[in-house]
Amino acid sequence: MTQKIEKLLKDQGVRPTAMRILIYKYLLEKNVAVALTDIENAFAKSDRTTLYRSVKTFEEKGIVHQIEDGTGIKKYALCEDGCNCEIDTDLHLHFHCSTCNETVCLTEHKIPHINLPTGYTAENVNLVVKGICDKCSSQQKTIR
Amino acid sequence: MTQKIEKLLKDQGVRPTAMRILIYKYLLEKNVAVALTDIENAFAKSDRTTLYRSVKTFEEKGIVHQIEDGTGIKKYALCEDGCNCEIDTDLHLHFHCSTCNETVCLTEHKIPHINLPTGYTAENVNLVVKGICDKCSSQQKTIR
DNA sequence: TGTTCTATGCAATGGAAGTGCATTTTGGAA
DNA sequence: TTCCAAAATGCACTTCCATTGCATAGAACA
Ligand SMILES: [Mn+2]
Ligand SMILES: [Mn+2]
Ligand SMILES: [Zn+2]
Ligand SMILES: [Zn+2]
């Protein structure tokens, strides 16, 4: 496991330090997008700045992508294999649940092509749907 | 003008105070989405809290809609006539220019219908395209 | 006029992003 | 193996914006 991650990080041009490996593992085991604060809370002995800069490096090297889910808090999630964060091919829908407050990548749901008025050039597209996630809606059923 | 605004506010259940009318006028003359700080700077003698609560009231009464353009700063813009901020009919694309840093409503560009996995329910959709706006790209041309 | 609800202003809080700088760690050259 | 330069880390701070509590002023209404 750790071996693989080390290799993966190296391949992306990121030095596999102890903390970075831990962060990567954490992102891997979470199946939702995480905030910096989440990572901070996951490790008792961690400095926010280090985490901040590690994640930033990950982002620059294409290891994670940043998600703006509308909460005002930046979230991060691992990129898919072979992802280049390219518009039309890699960018996908994100879903933010207003009940559990979790944000997930719906990697199967790519962003539809958007027509823009003349003169406008798209560099990036952010599509976030807010509502109730599957877990929360099935809990609702269970309750009643 | 002021008369119309007063009526409009009343019709939406908002008392047309002096400040609120000013804010409304300001939003009306700006053709871009504005941040609270923008409004604050537009009026020398204004209290941020009053502006904050006024805009919040506007939002609750369906007079403005909030825009999360990914900058982390909340923006606001007047709703169209007859807008109920309803998904599929009223929600539209927003464009954020990375050059001039302005965010505009592209009210003609409604949000395409999004298919979600089973169990997910959509309550709101946020679609933001980032890139270069028409003004900025035409300036580019002029320069070279 | 007096009462009550609403709007406003001021002060303060809180959360998160981001930066400067000193120190430690690391990887590679010698 | 030893040493050095570059990279990573940790701590202290700053900044920016959203948001709230509470006291006061203002408007509507009986
Ligand atoms: Mn994602
Ligand atoms: Mn809009
Ligand atoms: Zn949920
Ligand atoms: Zn522009």
The pLDDT, as a whole number, for residue B72 is 94
The pLDDT, as a whole number, for residue B144 is 55
Those nucleotides of strand D lying less than 7 Å from any protein Cβ are 7-12, 16-21, 27-28
The pLDDT, as a whole number, for residue B44 is 84
Q: Do B116 and A123 touch (CB under 8 A)?
A: no
The pLDDT, as a whole number, for residue A142 is 62
Sequence-separated contacts (24+) of A60-68 with Cβ below 8 Å? A61/A12, A61/A13, A61/A14, A62/A12, A63/A8, A63/A9, A63/A12, A63/A14, A63/A24, A64/A27, A67/A33, A67/A94, A67/A103, A67/A105, A67/A128, A68/A126, A68/A128, A68/B68, A68/B70, A68/B72, A68/B128
- Comparing A142 with B122, which gets the higher pLDDT? B122
Predicted confidence band at B142 (pLDDT cuts at 50, 70, 90)? low
* Residue-wise pLDDT tens digits, B29-63: 999 999 999 999 999 888 999 999 999 999 999 99
The pLDDT, as a whole number, for residue B43 is 93
Contact A54, A20 (CB under 8 A): yes
Domain boundaries, chain A: 2-143
Q: Do B127 and A127 touch (CB under 8 A)?
A: yes
The pLDDT, as a whole number, for residue B45 is 86
The pLDDT, as a whole number, for residue A139 is 79
CATH T-level assignment (fold) for domain B2-143: Arc Repressor Mutant, subunit A (1.10.10)
Å between A123 CA and nearest CA of chain B: 5
The pLDDT, as a whole number, for residue B97 is 97
Average pLDDT of the residues in B65-94: 94
The pLDDT, as a whole number, for residue B17 is 96
The pLDDT, as a whole number, for residue A1 is 84
- Comparing A94 with B144, which gets the higher pLDDT? A94
The pLDDT, as a whole number, for residue A141 is 63
Q: Do A131 and B121 touch (CB under 8 A)?
A: yes
Can you say whether the dihedral through the CA atoms of B66, B79, B135, B93 is positive or negative? positive
How many Å does it take to go from CA B23 to C1' D25?
20
The pTM (predicted TM-score) of the whole model is 0.92
Report how far residue B122's alpha carbon sits from residue B60's, in angstroms, rounded to the nearest whole number.
Answer: 20
Lowest mean pLDDT among A88-97, B49-58, B86-95, B133-142: B133-142
The pLDDT, as a whole number, for residue A2 is 86
pLDDT along chain A (144 residues), means of 10: 92 95 96 96 93 97 96 96 89 96 96 95 96 90 60
Identify all chain B residues contacting A132, using CB atoms and an 8 Å cutoff. 120-121, 123
Predicted confidence band at B21 (pLDDT cuts at 50, 70, 90)? very high
